Amino acid sequence: MKSTYGRLMLDIDGISLSNEDKKLISNNHVGGLIFFSKNFESFQQISNLVKEVREIKENILIAVDQEGGRVQRLNNEFTNIPSMQEIARFAKEHNDSSICKDIGWLISSELIATGIDINFAPVLDIDESTSSIIGNRAFSDNPEEVISMASDYIDGMHQAGMSSTGKHFPGHGGVVEDSHKELPEDIRQLDDLMNFDMRPYIKLANKLDAIMCAHILFPNIHKSIPSFSEYWIKEIVRNKINYDGLIFSDDLTMLGAGGETCSEKARKSIQAGCDMVLVCNNRKEIEGVINVFDEMGVEPSERLSKMKKRTNIDWNELNNSDRKSNINIKLEKIRS
């Protein structure tokens, strides 16, 4: 029997499941759960939470944003990872082409050891200090450096047994505004993006397992943000870039996604061609999204099974491995 996954990813409030959480996870449309810092206390606790979720539903993708730097949801026993800009700077200064691959492998291995399937990484935005929300989350403000380092990082993810998600398509590095708080507008033309911000997606199209859309409006290209746009998803991503991997919306509760209800935004995202939509930190909206999916006849997706972790990793063996020890030596140099 083929594995299928519901097309809605949501979050929970606590470090264990409430009765309401259990009921929602059981719903046919829920195929993903994303963890935040609020859900984490320790390795053992997060591992137990994953098991608790899987006792309710085996066919569910468990995700997290574990980029390193400012965006690292799991800490304590987990390796403290510097920002990707710091990693990239070390790679260039020491002519170390292996560091990005090693970091991709280590982060993925630690997450897989807990049972987590997805790390929403790598960041493919082209930036150094322009964007208020990206900045040092990006590898570089040079597209070719981003392509090279992200490619190595993805190789490390794959080596560990984790799929990759490039974000934020078609590029968040060219705007100052934070799309969590407002809708940024980028007035560039499509050719400008194709020759700069979108180059990592073009060059890595055959390597990326998924991409996540940015909540940014490009008014000189199309009237809708990418998550809501058949033009962006079908014409640009599918036809022009010839990308056939999975497509996630970013969190539809972000203010950059507009002021409509999440149910309406979810409808537009699914109609535009997103494989899965994220609705986080707004439990009141979830019922409406589920009702809309029922009305639309949204079916669970077999395609999403590609994002399932492909290996099992023992936490203690990982911590005692020579490879992790060698990576930690490099990380100490970066932090110093």
Compute the distance between CA of residue 190 and CA of residue 239 in angstroms, rounded to an integer.
14
Q: Name the stretches of the chain with pLDDT < 50.
A: none
The catalytic residues are 180, 250
pLDDT value, residue 235: 98
pTM of the model: 0.97
pLDDT value, residue 1: 57
Instruction: Single out the residue of 169, 133, 131, 167 nearest to residue 150, CA to CA.
Output: 167
Compute the distance between CA of residue 150 and CA of residue 11 in angstroms, rounded to an integer.
27
Tell me which residue has tokens 């098991």. 51
The pLDDT tens digits for 230-267 are: 999 999 999 999 999 999 999 999 988 888 999 999 99
Residues in the chain: 336
Order across the sheet with 246-251: list the strands.
Answer: 118-119, 61-64, 30-35, 8-10, 276-279, 246-251, 210-213, 165-169
Burial class for 295, CB neighbours closer than 10 Å (0-12, 13-18, 19+): exposed
Contact 49, 42 (CB under 8 A): no
Report the number of secondary-structure helices (H) and strands (E) in the chain.
12, 10
* CATH architecture assignment, domain 8-335: Alpha-Beta Barrel (3.20)
Compute the distance between CA of residue 201 and CA of residue 247 in angstroms, rounded to an integer.
12
Burial class for 253, CB neighbours closer than 10 Å (0-12, 13-18, 19+): middle
pLDDT value, residue 2: 73
Strands (E), 150-270: 165-169, 210-213, 246-251
pLDDT value, residue 11: 98
